[in-house]
Structure 1
Amino acid sequence: MITIFSAPSNLGLRPPELGSVPGTCKAPEALREAGLFRRLLAGGAIDGGVVLPGRYVDDDSSRAAGQVRNETALVDHARRLGRRIAGVIADGRAPLVIGGDCSLILGAGLALPGGTGLVHIDGHTDFRHPGNSDQCASVAGEDLAAAVGEHWPAVADIDGLGPYFSPAQTVHIGCRDDDEHLDEVRRSLGLALPARESIEIGMPDAAQAARAVTGNASYWLHLDVDVLDPLFMPAVDSPDPGGLNPNQLVELLTELAPTAIGAQVTVFDPDLDPDGRYAALVVDILATGLADLGRQVHP
C-alpha cells in the first residue's frame, strides 16, 4: 500500500524573477486541498507527513563557481528525504512523494537499494551537466544527469553513493523532439522515448519497453507534470508544446505504477493556477494512474 508524504522543495529551481521564490513549494498543500490525499487515503494509503526543505535563497550573486543553487540546503534535504523514503520501503509500503521540484530524485537515489531502475517521465530530459553546459546551477533542470552520475560530486555522489541509478537501467519518457540533450540521452541511457514516439507506439508498449530496460525489476518512478502538453497543463515553470494529453498520461502511469517501488511527482506550480482547475486535473491523474503504485512490489 501507499504512504503519501510531502516534500515541498523549490531549492533546485531558478527564481521566476529577481527576488521571487518558485511556487512549487506550495504544490503539496494545493493538491491536498484539491482532494489528492483524501482520495488516496480512501483507497488505503496512509499520510506520512512532510519532509520540510531549508529556506530558498536566490544566491546568484554569492554562489561560488562549481556549486548549484541552494546546494547546502538541497543536499541536507536529500539526505532527510532519503531516510524517510527508506523507512517507508522498510515498512513494506510504496512511498509516494508529492513535491516540490525535480531535485527530489537525489533523495530517492540515496534511499534505494542498488540495482533499482529509474523511469523518468518528464517534458524535458533534465540532462544539463558540467560536461555539456557552462550554465549549470539548477538541479531541477539537471536532475537526470545527477541521478546517473553526470554532475559535480556534491550532488551526484552524496556520501559516496553515486551514481544513484545505473544509466543502463534508466529510461526517459516524454521530452520534446527539439530537446537540446536528447541525442546525448539516447547515447547515455538504456532508453529514451520522446513524447511523440511514445504516443506513436502507444502507452502500453512504451511501458513494456521501459520495464525491459529496468530489467523487469522494481524501479523508481519520476513524474514531472510538464510532460503534459501546456494545452492541458500550463501551471509549470517551463511549458513546451508537444506533450501528452491527460488520458495518455493516466494510461502510462497505470501501466507502470504497479511494478514501481515508489514514485515522486514534481513541478506543479499553484502560483500559475489561480482558480485551482489545474490542481484538480493533477489530482484526477494521480488518483487514477497511481492508485496501484507498488502493488506488485509491496503486496
Structure 2
Amino acid sequence: MISLVSAPSNLGLRPPVAGGVPGAAKAPEALREAGLFRRFARLGAADAGVVLPGRYVDDDATRAADRVRNEAALVSHALRLADRIGGVLDDGATPLVLGGDCSILLGVGVALARRGRTGLVHVDGHTDFRHPGNSDDCASVAGEDLAAAVGLHRPTLTDLDGLSPYFAPSRTVHVGHRDDDDEADETRRVLGLVLSARQAMAMRPADAASAIRSVAGSAGYWLQLDVDVLDPAVMPAVDSPDPGGFPIDDLAALLSELAPGAVGASVTVFDPDLDPDGRYARVIADLLVGAFERLGAGA
C-alpha cells in the first residue's frame, strides 16, 4: 500500500528575490487541489499526514560562511521526516513523499540508513552535486542534496545520527542532467551510474531501467524525482528550468519501469507560485498517478 507523506519544505532553496520566500512549500496542497490525493486513494493509498518545516528566512546577511540557508530548521525537518518515513515503512507501506524542495532527500536518507543501506535513483534535471570540495558557494541544499546524500558535504548535513553516507555512492544512480551541467564529470567519477537526459532518452525505457537497477539493486532502492527533469516546454513551474529535458511520455515510461522495484519515492521542486491556474499541478498529478500506480509492488 502506498502512503502519501507531505513534506512542504522550501528551506533548501535560495530566495526568489531578496527577502522573498520560495513557493515550493505549497506543492503538496496544490497537488491535493489537483486531485492527486483523491486519485491515489481510489488506488488504495493512505494519507500519512504532513511534516511541517520551520519558517523560511532569507538569512544571507546573517548566516555564517560555513552554514547553509536555514540550516537548523532544515536539519530539524530532516530528522522529523525521517521518523515519519520510518513509521510508514514499519507499517509495511510504501512512502510517497511530496515535497517541497530537494533538501528532503536528507530526511529520506536518514530514514533508510537507520534501517540498513538501500540504493538511490536520483532523477533530476541537475546533478545537485555542488559541495565544499568543488565550490565556494555552498548555501542552498536543494542544489547540493545528492552530494550530501553520498557523504560529500559538511558533517552537519551528511552525518545526522552518525549515519554518513546515507546512500553508498556505488549504489547511487543519477539520471537527467543537461549536457552543460557543471558537476557532471565529477558525478560520473563518484557514482555507480550517471546518465544525462540526452543519453537516457536515447535508450528504450526498459533498457535504461535495467541498467539503473543493475547498479541501484533489482529491488530496494529509493526513487527521487525532481520535476525539473522535464523539459520546460511541458513543466516551466520550477525554480531552475533548463531546456533539453524529458517529454512527459518518455519520463512516465521510465518511471513506470522503475517504480515497482522502489521501496519508496519522493517528488520535489514544483512551485505553485509559477502555476497560477493550476494546469501544471494537473500535469504532475497525471504523471504520478500513472507512473507510480505500482510503486513498491516488486520491492
Instruction: Give the TM-score range, shorter chain.
Output: over 0.9
For 2:128, the aligned partner's letter is D
Counterpart residue number, 1:137: 139
**Gapped runs of 5+ residues in structure 1?**
none
Counterpart residue number, 1:106: 106
User: Partners of 1:124 and 1:114 in 2: how far apart?
Assistant: 27
Counterpart residue number, 2:64: 64
- 1:19 deviates by 1.1
Counterpart residue number, 2:170: 168
Secondary structure of 1:265's counterpart equals strand
Counterpart residue number, 2:284: 282
TM-score (norm 1): 0.98
- Checking the alignment, whether the CA contact within 8 Å between 2:219 and 2:263 is kept in structure 1 is no
Q: Does 1:21 align with 2:21?
A: yes
- 1:202 deviates by 2.1
Deviates more, 1:113-122 or 1:223-232: 113-122
Q: Deviations over 1:186-240 (max 9, x none)?
A: 0000000000000101221111111000132310110000000000000000000
User: Partners of 2:124 and 2:2 in 1: how far apart?
Assistant: 22
Counterpart residue number, 2:213: 211
Counterpart residue number, 1:36: 36
Q: Does 1:229 align with 2:231?
A: yes
Q: Say which of 131, 144, 150 aligns to 1:148.
A: 150
User: Partners of 1:65 and 1:5 in 2: how far apart?
Assistant: 33
TM-score (norm 2): 0.98
Counterpart residue number, 1:4: 4
Secondary structure of 1:174's counterpart equals strand
Counterpart residue number, 2:121: 119
Deviates more, 1:186-195 or 1:111-120: 111-120
Q: How many residues align?
A: 297
User: Partners of 1:210 and 1:123 in 2: how far apart?
Assistant: 17
User: Partners of 2:260 and 2:219 in 1: how far apart?
Assistant: 11
Deviation >6 Å, runs of 4+: none
Q: Deviations over 1:8-61 (max 9, x none)?
A: 000000000011100000000000000000000100000111000000010001
User: Partners of 1:157 and 1:202 in 2: how far apart?
Assistant: 37
User: Partners of 1:39 and 1:253 in 2: how far apart?
Assistant: 18
For 1:97, the aligned partner's letter is V
Q: Percent identity?
A: 67
Counterpart residue number, 2:75: 75
For 1:183, the aligned partner's letter is D
Counterpart residue number, 1:50: 50
- Checking the alignment, whether the CA contact within 8 Å between 2:219 and 2:298 is kept in structure 1 is no
